[in-house]
Amino acid sequence: MSALRTAPLPRMAGDLTFMRAKRATLDNLCADSFAVIGIPFERNTIAASGCRFGARALRETSVYFGWHVNAQFSHPVDIDARKQISTSSIHDRLVDLGDVTILGQSPSAANTVIQSAIGKIHARGASTIILGGDDSVVAPAATAHEGSLGLLQFGGTLPSADGTETPLGQLLASKRLRPSNAVVVAPARNPETNFADEFEAAGGRLLTAPNFKRLPTAELAGLACDLGSSVDTLIEHFDISIFSASLHGMTETPRFGGLTIRDMQPAITAIGQAPVSSLMVTGLNPTKNGLSVVKVGQRLIMTALLGYIYGRLSLLSSLQREDTG
């Protein structure tokens, strides 16, 4: 087939994988791989459904960022971490495992399937980039990991009184996640509940968007690294609701006072230099009205994801230099 190609593969053709990554299976998954897996499932949708299409929409947008396969694609944002690595290493480590098959499953059966799939990936020693889906996929994916959990959460809904209806509340209630091992960035504190006060009293850290913007990137990276070194598995949950209401077209739950992509880009790149086992992206609804806003939003999310990938590869490159030195 390669002999038939006389020009770079256009974005509208070819196998739809994340950033044109190679397809892989559990049998040929390497320990240092970044395994992208989609979970097209939604259960906590508040208004219009559509988050189950989020994984496919991000893959479609990611084709624009597949410069490591086609020279015609160039990266739209200058990221310092790119200077420290070879872009060819992305193609070597980034693989696409497709989607978890859960169509028509009950919530409990879906949780079992998600836990099994993510557990098998991490048993191979690979890191995952999980494309949701709404935030109902977070708790089963997180509990698929062995040992103690650490959580960096951007956006999402804070628990109410009993807290069991949100991923953070479910993980805290299960005792797999201790409050002292969780850092939550939220647009604002909810005055209708006392969860924030109880969470902080138990050792958790809650940053509102204004406080997060004032946090130096180096301090955030140090916070993530310290958290990662104190637990067996560090998880980053990136819910689209963290974005400002100006990007309301791509999320079900926009928040006034949220973050912009300029706020998020250096933060996610910095966090990528911590030992994150899973990055989960949830809340994108590509079926909402306002197609142009949704498409722009998807490109912004991809830019943030790319910053994370660069950060992770930069970390791996530095570790390899230390081993060979």
Tell me how far apart the alpha carbons of residues 321 and 263 are, in angstroms, rounded to a whole number: 30
Does residue 312 register a pLDDT over 80? no
Tell me the pLDDT band of 324, cut-offs 50, 70 and 90. Answer: very low
Decide: helix, strand or coil at residue 68: coil
Dihedral over alpha carbons 305, 35, 212, 228 (to 10 degrees): -150
Does residue 190 register a pLDDT over 70? no
**pLDDT at residue 236 in the model:** 92
Q: How far is CA 277 from CA 29, 151, 217, in A?
A: 15, 10, 20
Residues 184-204: what's their mean pLDDT? 79
Tell me how far apart the alpha carbons of residues 85 and 93 are, in angstroms, rounded to a whole number: 13
Does residue 220 register a pLDDT over 80? yes
Does residue 195 register a pLDDT over 60? yes
Does residue 51 register a pLDDT over 80? yes
Does residue 7 register a pLDDT over 50? no
In the chain, helix, strand, coil percent, each to 5? Answer: 45, 20, 35
**pLDDT at residue 314 in the model:** 64
- Contact in structure between 37 and 99 (CB atoms under 8 Å): yes
Read off the pLDDT of residues 256-308 as tens digits, 9 standing for 90 and up: 677 887 788 788 878 888 888 999 999 888 887 655 556 766 777 787 787 78
CA 295 and chain centroid, separation: 18
Specify the range with the lowest mean pLDDT, choosing from 203-212, 214-223, 295-304: 295-304
